[in-house]
Amino acid sequence: MAKYLISFPSAAMVVRGADLEAAGRDAHAVIEEAKAAGVYVFAGGIDESVPPVLVSADGTVAAGGFPWAPTLDGGFAVLELPSGDEAVAWAARIAKACRCDQELRVFGLDSRS
Task: Give the DSSP per-residue string, 18-70.
Answer: HHHHHHHHHHHHHHHHHHHHT-EEEEEE--TTS--EEE-TTS-EEESS-TTSP
Flag whether the pTM goes above 0.75.
Answer: yes
**What pLDDT sits at residue 112?**
74
* Contact present, 70 and 7 (Cβ < 8 Å): no
Note the Cα 56 to chain centre separation in Å: 25
Q: What integer pLDDT is reported at residue 113 of this predicted model?
A: 66
pLDDT tens figures, 19-63: 999 999 999 999 999 999 999 999 999 999 999 999 999 999 999
Q: Beta partners for 80?
A: 3
Q: pLDDT of 60-74, one tens digit each? A: 999 999 999 988 899
**pLDDT number for residue 62:** 95
